[in-house]
Amino acid sequence: MTTAIPESSYSVDVVERSANRMVLSMGPQHPSTHGVLQIITEIEGEIVTKASPEIGYLHTGIEKSAENLFWSQASTVIERMDYLSPLTNALCYYLAVEKLLGIDAQIPPRAQQVRVLLCELSRIASHCVWLGTGGIDLGALTGFFYCFDLRERILDLFEASGGARMHPNYIRVGGLGRDLPSGFLEKLDGVIAMYEPRMRDVRRLLQKNPILQDRMIDVGIISADDALAWSLTGPTLRATGIPYDVRRAFPYSGYEEYEFDVPTRTEGDAYARFLVRLDEMDEAMRIVRQVRKKLDTPGAWQIADTKFAPPPKETIALSMEALIHHFKLVSESFRVPPGDVYQPVEGPRGELGYYVVSNGDNRPWRVRTRPPSMYNLQVLKKIAIGELIADMVVMIGSLDPVFGEVDR
Amino acid sequence: MALGSGGDFLLTTVDAVARWAQSSSVWPLTMGLACCAIEMMTATAPEYDIARLGSEVFRASPRQADLMIVSGRVAQKMGPIVKRLYDQMADPKWVISMGACASSGGVFDNYAIVQGVDTIIPVDVYVPGCPPTPDGLLYAVNLIQQQIKQGGRGGILARA
Amino acid sequence: MPSSQTPPAGATALDPTAVRPDIADVVRIIRVVPAALRATLEELKGEGFSMLLDVGGADYPGREPARFDVVYHLLRIERTATTLAQVGAPDRVRVLCAVGESDPVLPTVTDLWPSADWAEREVYDLFGVRFDGHPDLRRIQMPDDWQGYPLRKDYPLRGPALERTPRPSFALKSNVAAGTPASGKTAAALQRQIAQARGNNSFMPGSGPAAAAQSGSQPGGTVSGGAATPGQLAQQPVNLKTEDNKS
Amino acid sequence: MTEARRVGFVYSFRSMSPYGPVAIYLAVAFLAALAFCLLPGLVARKKPNPVKSEAYECGVEPTSDVSGRFPVRFYLVAMLFVIFDVEAASFYPWAVQMHALRLFGLAEMLIFVIVLAVGYAYVWKRGGFQWR
């Protein structure tokens, strides 16, 4: 008996309905899919026999919008792609643009340090959201409150520096939007001091929790071969034993000056990914401490060349050149010489890459994103076969997809 | 029920009590779309604590939810889904359109985004911001409670 | 949205990939014709490029030989690399394959790298380039009954349907009358900034009072008296009202 | 005077048969349950629409007709739960009067538990608890 699935917003080929097999849509609105993911699962009792994730429910046409905005405006939409670490998106895009412009060597050291600081802080904040919501999937509600409170302190730093909690638009071409405000470093010291005890509590709460261990050990095992074949990167790849980290392989924005190590495990199951991300948060804080020491010395926070970076506001009313540069940048932005470049960055979910093409105009010709979440999520098709539905929930949480990035 | 003013007094009191009960436990639907969903989750976290308004119980099924918070941009593929979820919610129901993307398409004026969720479902409160701060969402839930108390959609006895 | 008076782009390159500056982002760039694509990728996989990083599309309408570009990024990582030294800086290769508009068909690589499945579906969905041999080639991002391929350059930004409906006219912002700053404070604040900047303006060597400063007073446009800043600024009050009216 | 009447009210309970309060308790429980079931149906507003009556399946059109056959494991797990849940429930009356029942009650309870433990061990060994 074959049941024809009606053609609707998703199309599934006709599913052979054997005696006790049932098609279940773990649909776009589901408490444990971490966003708008639909998985058409064919189940036999509680065992998943075929899982085909359907994405596109958050497709925002960001790459098309970016093609119709100026080079400096495009980061507005690009930051809204991976909304758990927007600054990493902005940094990756601007590094690519600066490479095309050929000014990537002139970025002042303080700007690079602040960029590294903000990206490591957003890595911690992003892992806090993963740990919180992942814990809720397994019933650990207290972890959610602990992690979101730590994230709240980090968002205060983004709000103090960039002006907004999530999409501060603080990283710009040639450096930063403005210098760090006064009082920022004291707040940063507060966060650094608070991190250690808070993470010790979270680890004591979750790491050796027998329930979490039973639910995560030997669930969603990925071998190193599969990880490479399915193009997994980030904590998902490092949990299978391969220590590929873009910050170490292709250092950018001054990462070679900081020493941190790349945590890896070998089991490749959900618990290994859990431990890798926890260790990664500690490494990120280690970098933040090293950058903190460098931030005491003031310095230029933007390249001096005002053809790309708008001149300071107060000089506009004083000098004609500043006014002209300001007006030109605001009204029609700068032109980027024709060419294409691929710039990778180590995002919280893996290698986030931008393949930016310019044809010499003042708008990007093409901004192709390499979305780590999409490739990490795709492996669900393979590892969910033969597992319980409850384990598939744990797998989704351990792959940490962000659907703004998956669907772009 | 041709009761004199006495009857009205009885009905208005029952209505007032019903509306007070309804407004103090407005249960939202678990439907997180994009960045605003993260701020919605932060609103349930201890710093902003939506539990003070009685709305911390996020129901997974539309059958048990009174409030739909459209938190994020609605893609073309998600439009019919949001419409179906709204229809499947039990009456009386309210809608908060959280953020610029849900209210008007926001920064994404392109082919992929529904330019304002009020083109597909009736919206009661619009929250500005991209994303709005959790305080903005708490204030929106407050406005919904005031609407309920003033009988915006009618109390338990109203036939609206 | 960008201002409409942007001058048409002058020297825009039709094929940016041909005139690219030498940026050290990839070890090798290989441009292949569709016929040789499959062989090149198999050979690269043999050389040890075990990870297909990304499959992306690009559209160059004016370009002569072929309109669409499908871009493959590959990364060489040994499966047995367990230390940072062994991983080192893995080689990255970009394979560009141009395919025409008449029959945009390319061989699939999902059998070489399973990660290409969704990536190829997305290139098909947004550009219309078909991959024959793909197990399940259908739209991935757009709804299944969507017409047209959105990321092509000739596809309108707001989509065919929306393009016809005019933009909603937003309510007039009546609360800000033209010409008057929102509140007296902003004018005074800018005055103080300028005075402070002039006080230590090592930045602008020898520039006289900026042209922006208008001498003479505008009827009724008196700058708020409270901003009595000492020094030469008082003789030439920066009268913001006239500036606002003019620009 | 008032003293007698208050006593009278209390007194009237004692004159009823010992099962009077139990009957009242059951009647009130049954009526309350009935009220909670019927009242919303009568009083609450009704705004039916075709989509609202369809099955809710995470927001998409329902695909599988739910009348399909369920694997037997679901019923097995349900029945096992009922058995051991009732067993746990039957501890309460004994636990409340444990001192009064003294050794006899304890022995009785132990036999009861041992019998069920044998069944538990049998199910465990036969893999009734394993889902695979």
Contact B92 D51 (CB under 8 A): no
Set of chain C residues whose Cβ sits within 8 Å of the Cβ of B77: 141-143
State the ipTM, two decimals.
0.85
**β-bridge partners, A368:** A355
pLDDT at A306: 85
Contact D64 A24 (CB under 8 A): yes
B76 touches chain D (CB under 8 A): no
Selected residue of B14, B63, B70, B84 to mutate for chain D interface (largest D Cβ count, 10 A): B84
- pLDDT, tens digit, 9 for 90 and up, residues B97-137: 999 999 988 999 899 999 889 889 999 999 999 999 999 99
Question: A117 to each of A82, A103, A196, A285, how far by Cα in Å?
Answer: 18, 21, 17, 9
Instruction: Place domain A74-379 in its CATH homologous superfamily.
Output: Cytochrome-c3 Hydrogenase, chain B (1.10.645.10)
**Among A residues 202-261, those touching chain C with beta carbons less than 8 Å apart:** 224-225, 228-231, 241-245, 248-250, 261
CATH label of the domain that carries residue B76: 3.40.50.12280
CA atoms of B78 and C157, how far apart (whole Å): 19
* pLDDT(B138) > 50: yes
Question: A378 to each of A64, A242, A401, how far by Cα in Å?
Answer: 23, 19, 10
Shortest alpha-carbon distance between residue B125 and chain C (Å): 18
Set of chain C residues whose Cβ sits within 8 Å of the Cβ of B110: 157-159
B120 touches chain A (CB under 8 A): no
- Model confidence band, residue D132 (pLDDT cutoffs 50, 70, 90): low
Q: Could you tell me if residue B47 is inside a domain? A: yes
- pLDDT, tens digit, 9 for 90 and up, residues D4-41: 455 555 556 666 788 888 999 999 999 999 999 998 88
B54 touches chain D (CB under 8 A): no
Q: What range defines the domain where residue D30 resides?
A: 2-126
Q: Does D touch C (3+ CB pairs < 8 Å)?
A: no
Q: What range defines the domain where residue B76 resides?
A: 26-149
- pLDDT, tens digit, 9 for 90 and up, residues C158-216: 887 766 666 655 544 443 344 444 455 656 666 677 777 677 544 433 333 333 333 33
Name which CATH class applies to C21-158: alpha beta
Q: Could you tell me if residue D33 is inside a domain? A: yes
Q: End-to-end distance of chain A based on CA atoms, in angstroms?
A: 39
Contacts of C30 (CB under 8 A, 6+ apart): C40, C93, C94, C95, C96
Contact A60 B39 (CB under 8 A): no
- pLDDT, tens digit, 9 for 90 and up, residues C26-59: 889 999 999 999 999 999 999 999 999 999 999 9
Task: Give pTM, 2 decimals.
Answer: 0.83
Low-confidence ranges of chain A (pLDDT < 50): 1-17
CA atoms of D97 and A29, how far apart (whole Å): 51
Considering its fold, how many domains does chain D have in total? 1
